[in-house]
Structure 1
Amino acid sequence: MNKKKRRLLMRTIILVVLASAVSYTLYANFTKEARGKITEGDQAPNFVLQDMDGNKHQLSDYEGKGVFLNFWGTWCKPCEKEMPYMENQYSKYKDQGVQILAVNVGESDFLINKFVSEHGLTFPILVDEEKDVQHAYGIDPLPTTILINPEGKVEKVITGTMTEKDIQQHLESIKPQ
Protein backbone atom coordinates (compact mmCIF):
# COMPACT_ATOMS: atom_id res chain seq x y z
CA MET A 1 0.00 0.00 0.00
CA ASN A 2 1.46 3.32 -0.94
CA LYS A 3 1.71 6.35 1.34
CA LYS A 4 -1.29 8.17 -0.13
CA LYS A 5 -3.67 5.24 0.35
CA ARG A 6 -2.49 4.67 3.94
CA ARG A 7 -3.04 8.33 4.78
CA LEU A 8 -6.52 8.22 3.25
CA LEU A 9 -7.35 5.07 5.24
CA MET A 10 -6.15 6.66 8.52
CA ARG A 11 -8.12 9.84 7.86
CA THR A 12 -11.24 7.80 7.10
CA ILE A 13 -10.87 5.79 10.32
CA ILE A 14 -10.39 8.96 12.37
CA LEU A 15 -13.42 10.56 10.70
CA VAL A 16 -15.59 7.49 11.44
CA VAL A 17 -14.49 7.45 15.11
CA LEU A 18 -15.24 11.18 15.50
CA ALA A 19 -18.62 10.85 13.79
CA SER A 20 -19.49 7.93 16.10
CA ALA A 21 -18.53 9.96 19.19
CA VAL A 22 -20.61 12.94 18.08
CA SER A 23 -23.58 10.69 17.28
CA TYR A 24 -23.41 8.97 20.66
CA THR A 25 -23.16 12.29 22.49
CA LEU A 26 -26.19 13.67 20.67
CA TYR A 27 -28.17 10.47 21.31
CA ALA A 28 -27.25 10.48 25.02
CA ASN A 29 -28.24 14.13 25.44
CA PHE A 30 -31.54 13.85 23.60
CA THR A 31 -32.61 10.69 25.42
CA LYS A 32 -31.42 11.50 28.94
CA GLU A 33 -34.87 12.78 29.94
CA ALA A 34 -36.41 9.40 29.17
CA ARG A 35 -33.77 7.38 31.00
CA GLY A 36 -33.98 6.84 34.75
CA LYS A 37 -35.90 9.99 35.65
CA ILE A 38 -37.84 9.36 38.85
CA THR A 39 -41.23 11.03 39.11
CA GLU A 40 -43.94 11.29 41.74
CA GLY A 41 -45.87 8.05 42.18
CA ASP A 42 -43.00 5.82 40.99
CA GLN A 43 -41.75 3.00 43.18
CA ALA A 44 -38.38 4.17 44.50
CA PRO A 45 -35.59 1.99 43.07
CA ASN A 46 -33.93 -0.12 45.73
CA PHE A 47 -30.20 0.33 46.31
CA VAL A 48 -27.45 -0.69 48.70
CA LEU A 49 -24.79 1.85 49.70
CA GLN A 50 -22.28 2.02 52.52
CA ASP A 51 -22.13 4.84 55.02
CA MET A 52 -18.93 6.46 56.28
CA ASP A 53 -18.58 3.78 58.99
CA GLY A 54 -18.80 0.92 56.48
CA ASN A 55 -22.39 -0.03 57.40
CA LYS A 56 -24.63 -1.07 54.50
CA HIS A 57 -27.92 0.73 53.98
CA GLN A 58 -30.54 -0.77 51.70
CA LEU A 59 -33.56 1.35 50.85
CA SER A 60 -35.91 -1.62 51.31
CA ASP A 61 -34.75 -1.86 54.95
CA TYR A 62 -36.61 1.39 55.58
CA GLU A 63 -39.98 0.11 54.38
CA GLY A 64 -42.64 1.41 56.77
CA LYS A 65 -40.66 4.61 57.34
CA GLY A 66 -40.65 7.85 55.43
CA VAL A 67 -37.29 8.43 53.71
CA PHE A 68 -35.83 11.86 52.95
CA LEU A 69 -33.23 10.89 50.30
CA ASN A 70 -30.89 13.81 49.67
CA PHE A 71 -28.22 13.82 46.93
CA TRP A 72 -25.39 16.27 47.58
CA GLY A 73 -21.71 17.19 47.13
CA THR A 74 -19.16 18.89 49.40
CA TRP A 75 -18.46 21.50 46.70
CA CYS A 76 -22.16 22.41 46.40
CA LYS A 77 -22.91 25.65 48.31
CA PRO A 78 -26.71 25.13 48.34
CA CYS A 79 -26.10 21.61 49.73
CA GLU A 80 -23.89 23.04 52.46
CA LYS A 81 -26.53 25.61 53.34
CA GLU A 82 -29.29 23.05 53.92
CA MET A 83 -27.22 20.45 55.82
CA PRO A 84 -27.54 22.17 59.25
CA TYR A 85 -31.31 22.41 58.71
CA MET A 86 -31.43 18.70 57.90
CA GLU A 87 -29.42 17.93 61.04
CA ASN A 88 -31.76 20.00 63.23
CA GLN A 89 -34.84 18.26 61.83
CA TYR A 90 -33.23 14.80 61.92
CA SER A 91 -32.89 15.03 65.69
CA LYS A 92 -36.63 15.77 65.91
CA TYR A 93 -37.93 13.22 63.39
CA LYS A 94 -35.59 10.20 63.68
CA ASP A 95 -37.76 8.71 66.45
CA GLN A 96 -41.00 9.43 64.55
CA GLY A 97 -40.49 6.93 61.72
CA VAL A 98 -38.67 9.25 59.32
CA GLN A 99 -35.13 8.61 58.08
CA ILE A 100 -32.77 11.07 56.42
CA LEU A 101 -30.25 9.48 54.06
CA ALA A 102 -27.72 11.85 52.48
CA VAL A 103 -26.07 10.39 49.38
CA ASN A 104 -22.75 11.93 48.42
CA VAL A 105 -22.03 11.43 44.74
CA GLY A 106 -18.53 10.44 43.71
CA GLU A 107 -16.29 12.21 46.22
CA SER A 108 -13.40 10.97 48.34
CA ASP A 109 -13.83 9.78 51.92
CA PHE A 110 -11.40 12.50 53.02
CA LEU A 111 -13.58 15.33 51.63
CA ILE A 112 -16.78 13.78 52.94
CA ASN A 113 -15.39 13.17 56.45
CA LYS A 114 -14.04 16.72 56.61
CA PHE A 115 -17.44 18.12 55.60
CA VAL A 116 -19.34 15.87 58.05
CA SER A 117 -17.12 16.81 61.00
CA GLU A 118 -17.21 20.54 60.15
CA HIS A 119 -21.01 20.46 60.17
CA GLY A 120 -21.53 17.94 63.00
CA LEU A 121 -23.79 15.69 60.94
CA THR A 122 -25.22 12.60 62.65
CA PHE A 123 -27.63 11.22 60.04
CA PRO A 124 -26.30 8.48 57.71
CA ILE A 125 -24.01 9.78 54.97
CA LEU A 126 -23.99 7.25 52.14
CA VAL A 127 -21.33 7.17 49.44
CA ASP A 128 -22.29 6.62 45.80
CA GLU A 129 -18.73 6.26 44.47
CA GLU A 130 -19.68 5.11 40.99
CA LYS A 131 -22.76 7.38 40.84
CA ASP A 132 -24.95 4.32 40.15
CA VAL A 133 -27.75 5.45 42.46
CA GLN A 134 -27.56 9.01 41.13
CA HIS A 135 -28.03 7.65 37.61
CA ALA A 136 -30.77 5.19 38.64
CA TYR A 137 -32.75 8.10 40.08
CA GLY A 138 -31.88 10.47 37.22
CA ILE A 139 -30.48 13.07 39.62
CA ASP A 140 -29.29 16.34 38.15
CA PRO A 141 -28.59 18.99 39.51
CA LEU A 142 -27.43 18.90 43.15
CA PRO A 143 -28.94 19.21 45.64
CA THR A 144 -31.93 17.05 44.82
CA THR A 145 -34.12 15.41 47.44
CA ILE A 146 -36.53 12.53 46.89
CA LEU A 147 -39.35 12.15 49.43
CA ILE A 148 -40.29 8.48 49.76
CA ASN A 149 -43.43 7.47 51.67
CA PRO A 150 -43.59 4.46 54.04
CA GLU A 151 -44.85 2.27 51.16
CA GLY A 152 -41.72 3.02 49.10
CA LYS A 153 -43.40 5.34 46.59
CA VAL A 154 -41.92 8.67 45.52
CA GLU A 155 -44.05 11.47 46.98
CA LYS A 156 -42.05 14.42 45.66
CA VAL A 157 -38.81 15.35 43.86
CA ILE A 158 -37.25 18.60 45.06
CA THR A 159 -34.35 20.30 43.31
CA GLY A 160 -32.49 23.22 44.83
CA THR A 161 -31.99 24.53 48.34
CA MET A 162 -34.62 24.18 51.03
CA THR A 163 -35.18 26.29 54.11
CA GLU A 164 -35.44 24.64 57.51
CA LYS A 165 -39.20 25.17 57.42
CA ASP A 166 -39.37 23.43 54.00
CA ILE A 167 -37.44 20.45 55.35
CA GLN A 168 -39.64 20.24 58.43
CA GLN A 169 -42.80 20.30 56.29
CA HIS A 170 -41.41 17.63 53.95
CA LEU A 171 -40.45 15.36 56.84
CA GLU A 172 -43.90 15.82 58.31
CA SER A 173 -45.49 14.88 54.96
CA ILE A 174 -43.76 11.47 54.82
CA LYS A 175 -44.11 10.61 58.50
CA PRO A 176 -45.99 7.32 58.99
CA GLN A 177 -49.54 7.72 60.32
Structure 2
Amino acid sequence: MNKQKRFWMRTIILTVLASAVVYVVYSSLTMDKEKSLDNGDEAPNFALTDLQGMKHVLDDYKGQGVFLNFWGTWCKPCEYEMPYIQSQYEQFTDKGVQVLAVNVNEADFVVEKFRDRHKLTFPIVIDKNNLVQQSYLINNLPATYLIDKDGRVVDYTTGSLTEERIQQMMEQIKP
Protein backbone atom coordinates (compact mmCIF):
# COMPACT_ATOMS: atom_id res chain seq x y z
CA MET A 1 0.00 0.00 0.00
CA ASN A 2 2.91 2.32 0.75
CA LYS A 3 4.23 1.98 -2.84
CA GLN A 4 0.79 2.74 -4.22
CA LYS A 5 0.54 5.98 -2.16
CA ARG A 6 3.96 7.11 -3.38
CA PHE A 7 2.97 6.33 -6.97
CA TRP A 8 -0.18 8.49 -6.72
CA MET A 9 1.64 11.26 -4.89
CA ARG A 10 4.33 11.38 -7.59
CA THR A 11 1.68 11.29 -10.31
CA ILE A 12 -0.15 14.25 -8.75
CA ILE A 13 3.08 16.25 -8.35
CA LEU A 14 4.14 15.56 -11.94
CA THR A 15 0.67 16.52 -13.20
CA VAL A 16 0.77 19.82 -11.32
CA LEU A 17 4.29 20.57 -12.63
CA ALA A 18 3.32 19.67 -16.20
CA SER A 19 0.25 21.89 -15.94
CA ALA A 20 2.40 24.78 -14.71
CA VAL A 21 4.82 24.37 -17.62
CA VAL A 22 1.96 24.27 -20.13
CA TYR A 23 0.43 27.41 -18.56
CA VAL A 24 3.74 29.33 -18.69
CA VAL A 25 4.34 28.39 -22.33
CA TYR A 26 0.76 29.26 -23.30
CA SER A 27 0.91 32.59 -21.44
CA SER A 28 4.17 33.63 -23.05
CA LEU A 29 2.91 32.78 -26.53
CA THR A 30 -0.41 34.57 -26.18
CA MET A 31 0.78 37.56 -24.13
CA ASP A 32 0.69 40.93 -25.88
CA LYS A 33 4.03 42.22 -26.97
CA GLU A 34 5.20 45.39 -25.26
CA LYS A 35 2.77 48.09 -26.29
CA SER A 36 3.56 51.66 -27.09
CA LEU A 37 1.84 54.56 -28.73
CA ASP A 38 2.08 54.45 -32.51
CA ASN A 39 3.94 56.98 -34.62
CA GLY A 40 1.53 59.73 -35.58
CA ASP A 41 -0.61 59.32 -32.46
CA GLU A 42 -1.28 62.43 -30.44
CA ALA A 43 0.90 62.36 -27.34
CA PRO A 44 -1.26 62.17 -24.20
CA ASN A 45 -1.25 65.52 -22.43
CA PHE A 46 -0.20 65.72 -18.80
CA ALA A 47 0.68 68.25 -16.14
CA LEU A 48 3.46 67.47 -13.67
CA THR A 49 5.47 69.64 -11.30
CA ASP A 50 9.25 69.86 -11.41
CA LEU A 51 11.66 69.95 -8.49
CA GLN A 52 11.42 73.75 -8.28
CA GLY A 53 7.62 73.65 -8.03
CA MET A 54 7.02 74.78 -11.63
CA LYS A 55 4.14 73.10 -13.47
CA HIS A 56 4.92 71.55 -16.87
CA VAL A 57 2.00 70.86 -19.22
CA LEU A 58 2.94 68.91 -22.35
CA ASP A 59 0.52 70.91 -24.53
CA ASP A 60 2.43 74.09 -23.57
CA TYR A 61 5.40 72.71 -25.54
CA LYS A 62 3.53 72.65 -28.87
CA GLY A 63 5.64 74.36 -31.51
CA GLN A 64 8.75 72.67 -30.09
CA GLY A 65 10.08 69.14 -30.25
CA VAL A 66 9.97 67.23 -26.96
CA PHE A 67 12.41 64.53 -25.89
CA LEU A 68 10.25 62.80 -23.26
CA ASN A 69 12.38 60.47 -21.15
CA PHE A 70 11.02 58.14 -18.43
CA TRP A 71 13.61 57.10 -15.86
CA GLY A 72 14.49 56.19 -12.27
CA THR A 73 17.50 56.92 -10.06
CA TRP A 74 17.93 53.19 -9.37
CA CYS A 75 18.09 52.38 -13.10
CA LYS A 76 21.74 52.03 -14.21
CA PRO A 77 20.98 52.39 -17.96
CA CYS A 78 19.05 55.58 -17.09
CA GLU A 79 22.03 56.93 -15.17
CA TYR A 80 24.34 56.03 -18.07
CA GLU A 81 22.40 58.15 -20.58
CA MET A 82 21.73 61.20 -18.37
CA PRO A 83 25.04 63.02 -19.09
CA TYR A 84 24.41 62.53 -22.82
CA ILE A 85 20.87 63.89 -22.53
CA GLN A 86 22.28 66.90 -20.63
CA SER A 87 24.95 67.52 -23.27
CA GLN A 88 22.45 67.39 -26.14
CA TYR A 89 19.91 69.46 -24.20
CA GLU A 90 22.52 72.22 -24.04
CA GLN A 91 23.00 71.94 -27.82
CA PHE A 92 19.33 71.78 -28.82
CA THR A 93 17.37 73.84 -26.31
CA ASP A 94 17.92 77.03 -28.35
CA LYS A 95 16.93 75.16 -31.51
CA GLY A 96 13.39 74.40 -30.31
CA VAL A 97 13.94 70.98 -28.73
CA GLN A 98 13.02 70.54 -25.08
CA VAL A 99 13.76 67.72 -22.66
CA LEU A 100 11.22 66.57 -20.10
CA ALA A 101 12.59 63.89 -17.80
CA VAL A 102 9.77 62.03 -16.06
CA ASN A 103 10.94 60.28 -12.92
CA VAL A 104 8.73 57.35 -12.02
CA ASN A 105 7.46 57.82 -8.50
CA GLU A 106 10.52 58.50 -6.37
CA ALA A 107 10.94 60.90 -3.47
CA ASP A 108 11.91 64.48 -4.31
CA PHE A 109 14.98 64.26 -2.06
CA VAL A 110 16.36 61.22 -3.90
CA VAL A 111 15.75 62.78 -7.32
CA GLU A 112 17.31 66.11 -6.21
CA LYS A 113 20.46 64.32 -5.05
CA PHE A 114 20.67 62.49 -8.40
CA ARG A 115 20.11 65.75 -10.33
CA ASP A 116 22.78 67.57 -8.34
CA ARG A 117 25.32 64.73 -8.60
CA HIS A 118 24.94 64.65 -12.40
CA LYS A 119 24.59 68.46 -12.79
CA LEU A 120 21.34 68.15 -14.74
CA THR A 121 19.66 71.39 -15.79
CA PHE A 122 16.73 70.19 -17.91
CA PRO A 123 13.27 69.96 -16.32
CA ILE A 124 12.76 66.91 -14.14
CA VAL A 125 9.19 66.13 -13.17
CA ILE A 126 8.01 63.34 -10.89
CA ASP A 127 5.07 61.12 -11.80
CA LYS A 128 4.03 60.48 -8.19
CA ASN A 129 0.97 58.35 -8.98
CA ASN A 130 2.30 56.69 -12.19
CA LEU A 131 -0.60 58.03 -14.26
CA VAL A 132 1.67 59.50 -16.95
CA GLN A 133 3.71 56.31 -17.05
CA GLN A 134 0.47 54.35 -17.54
CA SER A 135 -0.90 56.69 -20.22
CA TYR A 136 2.34 56.28 -22.18
CA LEU A 137 2.30 52.48 -21.67
CA ILE A 138 5.76 52.44 -20.07
CA ASN A 139 6.91 49.10 -18.69
CA ASN A 140 10.70 49.17 -19.00
CA LEU A 141 13.13 51.96 -18.17
CA PRO A 142 14.63 53.98 -19.61
CA ALA A 143 11.99 54.75 -22.20
CA THR A 144 11.96 57.73 -24.54
CA TYR A 145 9.24 59.21 -26.71
CA LEU A 146 9.99 61.77 -29.40
CA ILE A 147 7.18 64.26 -29.83
CA ASP A 148 7.10 66.68 -32.75
CA LYS A 149 6.09 70.35 -32.76
CA ASP A 150 2.46 69.36 -33.41
CA GLY A 151 2.30 67.14 -30.33
CA ARG A 152 2.45 63.87 -32.27
CA VAL A 153 4.56 60.83 -31.44
CA VAL A 154 7.45 60.48 -33.88
CA ASP A 155 9.34 57.60 -32.29
CA TYR A 156 9.60 55.44 -29.18
CA THR A 157 12.56 53.53 -27.81
CA THR A 158 13.52 51.67 -24.66
CA GLY A 159 16.97 51.03 -23.32
CA SER A 160 20.00 53.20 -22.79
CA LEU A 161 20.93 55.66 -25.51
CA THR A 162 24.33 56.78 -26.72
CA GLU A 163 25.08 60.45 -27.15
CA GLU A 164 25.13 60.02 -30.94
CA ARG A 165 21.70 58.43 -30.89
CA ILE A 166 20.30 61.19 -28.67
CA GLN A 167 21.69 63.79 -31.08
CA GLN A 168 20.02 62.01 -34.03
CA MET A 169 16.74 61.85 -32.14
CA MET A 170 16.82 65.55 -31.27
CA GLU A 171 17.60 66.41 -34.90
CA GLN A 172 14.56 64.35 -35.86
CA ILE A 173 12.18 66.49 -33.77
CA LYS A 174 13.82 69.87 -34.29
CA PRO A 175 11.13 72.21 -35.66
Given the two structures, how large is their TM-score scaled by the length of structure 1? 0.80
CA RMSD of aligned residues (A): 1.6
Per the TM alignment, residue 67 of structure 1 is displaced from its structure 2 partner at its CA by: 0.2
1:4-54 Cα offsets, whole Å, 9 max, x none, are xxxxxxxxxxxxxxxxxxxxxx9xx957967xx312111000000000001
Q: State the match for 2:101 in structure 1.
A: 102
Query: How many percent identity over aligned positions?
Result: 55
Amino acid at match of 1:131: N
Amino acid at match of 1:60: D
Q: State the match for 1:52 in structure 2.
A: 51
Q: State the match for 1:127 in structure 2.
A: 126
Unaligned segments of structure 1, at least 5 residues: 1-25
Per the TM alignment, residue 100 of structure 1 is displaced from its structure 2 partner at its CA by: 0.4
Q: 2 CA distance for matches of 1:142 and 1:39?
A: 18
Unaligned segments of structure 2, at least 5 residues: 1-26
Secondary structure in 1 aligned to 2:49?
strand
Q: 1 CA distance for matches of 2:34 and 2:81?
A: 27
Q: State the match for 2:4 in structure 1.
A: none
Q: State the match for 2:62 in structure 1.
A: 63
Secondary structure in 1 aligned to 2:53?
coil
Amino acid at match of 2:110: L
Secondary structure in 1 aligned to 2:84?
helix
Q: State the match for 1:92 in structure 2.
A: 91
Q: State the match for 1:165 in structure 2.
A: 164
Q: 2 CA distance for matches of 1:31 and 1:80?
A: 29
Amino acid at match of 2:44: P
Per the TM alignment, residue 121 of structure 1 is displaced from its structure 2 partner at its CA by: 0.1
Larger radius of gyration: 2
Given the two structures, how large is their TM-score scaled by the length of structure 2? 0.80
Q: State the match for 1:137 in structure 2.
A: 136
The structure 1 segments of at least 4 consecutive aligned residues displaced by more than 3 Å after TM superposition are 29-34
Amino acid at match of 1:146: Y
Secondary structure in 2 aligned to 1:110?
helix
Q: 2 CA distance for matches of 1:33 and 1:78?
A: 19
Q: 2 CA distance for matches of 1:45 and 1:99?
A: 17
**1:74 matched to 2:52:** no
